[in-house]
C-alpha cells in the first residue's frame, strides 16, 4: 500500500514537471518569444522576415515575392552600359566597373524590351551571386489588356520562373514621364496592364519575380505619379529614379515628394536609377553623390541604390553620367560603396 502511494506520488511529480516544461516551450515559441526566418536555398539574400534594427531600419514586411531586402543598410547596384553591345560585352563592362569601385555589385541592372530574356548576360550575373533587376518596357498598355501579347508575356514569365532564384522586375518604369503618355495612356490603363501582366506571371508560377513600381521622382506630385500605383497587393518594392536635372537640384530636393508618399507604405525602396550628370565640375558631381549616399542613410526605408553608369543622347543632347574615367566623382561613389552601411552583400 505504502509502495503504491510512493509510485503514485512520483508519477504525479513527473507529470507536473513535464507540463511545466511544455508550457515554457510553448511560451518561448510564440508571440514575443522570437521569429522564424524562412530562407530560400537558391538565394543568399532571400528571407521571409525582416528583423527590426533599432535606430537604423524601420520594420518592413518582407516581400511576398522576389528578394527580401537587407535588414539594415542598403545594397549597391548599377546599370553599366557596355562599349561593345554583346552579352559578353555586358558582363565585361560590369566586371570593369566593379574593379573601379573596389567591390562586387549586389544588384546587376539590365534593360529589355521586345527581345528574348533572360539573356546570357543575365544568367552570368545570377551565377556570380548578384541579384538581377530587369527593367522591362513592355508594350502599349491598351494592347496588353487586349490580350494580344499574352503568349509573349507567358513566355517571359516561364523564362523568369526557370531561373529558380528571386529577381526584381521593374515593369514599365517612369510611367509618369510626360513623353510616355502615348503608350501609357492613363493611370487606369497603366494599372489594368500591370495587373494583366502580373496575373499571367502568377498563373505560370513565376512568383520568384518581385514587382518593382518605379516612377521618376522629378515632379512626382505635378505628374500625379501616385495615381499610377497599382496597390500594395500588387507591388513588392517601391522605386524612384532620381536625377539632378538642368538646375542640378540636390538628390533630396528631387526625391522628397516621392519619399513622403512612400513613407505611408510598408515597402522597401530601391532607387532604380540615379546619376550625377557631367554638366558641371567634378567637385559638383562628387558633392551630389556624397549627398545622395547621406540621404539614403537618413532614410532607412531605402534598401538599394542602383547607379546609371551610362551616357546617352536625348533630344540631341549628349548626357553623360559615367564615373569611370573621372577622379572626384568616382572616388565619391567608391567611398559610398565601401562604407559598412552599403556593404550588405550576402546579408539579410
Burial of 142 (0-12, 13-18, 19+ CB in 10 A): middle
Residue of higher predicted confidence among 41 and 185:
185
Mean pLDDT over 184-189 rounds to 98
Residue 205, pLDDT > 60, answer yes
**CB of 117 closer than 8 Å to CB of 153:** no
**CB of 308 closer than 8 Å to CB of 267:** no
- Note the pLDDT of residue 314: 78
- Note the pLDDT of residue 185: 98
Q: Which residues contact 8 (CB under 8 A, 6 or more apart)?
A: none
- Note the pLDDT of residue 318: 87
For the domain made up of 75-342, the CATH class stated in words is: alpha beta
Residue of higher predicted confidence among 2 and 320:
320
Q: Using 50, 70 and 90 to split pLDDT, how confident is the model at 257?
A: very high
Mean pLDDT over 168-174 rounds to 98
Residue 189, pLDDT > 50, answer yes
Instruction: Write out pLDDT tens, residues 285-334.
Output: 999 999 999 999 999 999 999 999 999 887 788 899 999 999 999 999 99
φ/ψ of 51, rounded to 5, equals: -70, 155
Mean pLDDT over 217-237 rounds to 98
- Give CA angle at 325 (324, 327), nearest 5°: 95
Q: What is the dihedral of CA 272, 276, 278, 279, to 10 degrees?
A: 110
- Note the pLDDT of residue 317: 84
Instruction: Write out pLDDT tens, residues 81-104.
Output: 999 999 999 999 999 999 999 999
Residue 12, pLDDT > 60, answer no
- Note the pLDDT of residue 57: 52
Domain range summary for the chain, segments of one domain joined by +? 2-33, 75-342
Q: Using 50, 70 and 90 to split pLDDT, how confident is the model at 17?
A: very low
**Mean pLDDT, rounded, of the chain:** 85
**CB of 191 closer than 8 Å to CB of 171:** no
Q: Using 50, 70 and 90 to split pLDDT, how confident is the model at 344?
A: low
- Note the pLDDT of residue 24: 31
Q: Using 50, 70 and 90 to split pLDDT, how confident is the model at 73?
A: very high
Instruction: Write out pLDDT tens, residues 106-136.
Output: 999 999 998 999 999 999 999 999 999 999 9
Amino acid at each position: 500500500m505504502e509502495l503504491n502511494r510512493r509510485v503514485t506520488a512520483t508519477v504525479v511529480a513527473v507529470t507536473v514537471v513535464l507540463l511545466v516544461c511544455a508550457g515554457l516551450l510553448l511560451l518561448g515559441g510564440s508571440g514575443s518569444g522570437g521569429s522564424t526566418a524562412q530562407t530560400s536555398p537558391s538565394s543568399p539574400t532571400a528571407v521571409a522576415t525582416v528583423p527590426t534594427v533599432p535606430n537604423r531600419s524601420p520594420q518592413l514586411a518582407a516581400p511576398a515575392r522576389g528578394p527580401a531586402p537587407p535588414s539594415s543598410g542598403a545594397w549597391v547596384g548599377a546599370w553599366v552600359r557596355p562599349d561593345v553591345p554583346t552579352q559578353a560585352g555586358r558582363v565585361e563592362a560590369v566586371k570593369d566597373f566593379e574593379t573601379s569601385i573596389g567591390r562586387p555589385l549586389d544588384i546587376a541592372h539590365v534593360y529589355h524590351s521586345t527581345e528574348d530574356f533572360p539573356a546570357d548576360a543575365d544568367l552570368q550575373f545570377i551565377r556570380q551571386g548578384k541579384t538581377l533587376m530587369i527593367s522591362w518596357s513592355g508594350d502599349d498598355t491598351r494592347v496588353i489588356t487586349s490580350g494580344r501579347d499574352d503568349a509573349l508575356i507567358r513566355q517571359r514569365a516561364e523564362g523568369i520562373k526557370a531561373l529558380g532564384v528571386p529577381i526584381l522586375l521593374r515593369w514599365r518604369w517612369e510611367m509618369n514621364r510626360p513623353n510616355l503618355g502615348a503608350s501609357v495612356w492613363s493611370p487606369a490603363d497603366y494599372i489594368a496592364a500591370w495587373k494583366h501582366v502580373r496575373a499571367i506571371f502568377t498563373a505560370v508560377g513565376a512568383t520568384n519575380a518581385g514587382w518593382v513600381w518605379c516612377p521618376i521622382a522629378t515632379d512626382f506630385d505635378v505628374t500625379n505619379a501616385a495615381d499610377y500605383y497599382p496597390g500594395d497587393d500588387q507591388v513588392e518594392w517601391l522605386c524612384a529614379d532620381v536625377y539632378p536635372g538642368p538646375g542640378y537640384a540636390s538628390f533630396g530636393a528631387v526625391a522628397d515628394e516621392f519619399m513622403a508618399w512612400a513613407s505611408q507604405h510598408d515597402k522597401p525602396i530601391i532607387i532604380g536609377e540615379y546619376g550625377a550628370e557631367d554638366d558641371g565640375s567634378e567637385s559638383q558631381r562628387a558633392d551630389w553623390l556624397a549627398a545622395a549616399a547621406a540621404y539614403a542613410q537618413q532614410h532607412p526605408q531605402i534598401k538599394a541604390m542602383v547607379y546609371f553608369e551610362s551616357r546617352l543622347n536625348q533630344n540631341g543632347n549628349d548626357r553623360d553620367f559615367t564615373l569611370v574615367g573621372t577622379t572626384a566623382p568616382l572616388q565619391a561613389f567608391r567611398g559610398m560603396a565601401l562604407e559598412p552601411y552599403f556593404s550588405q552583400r550576402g546579408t539579410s
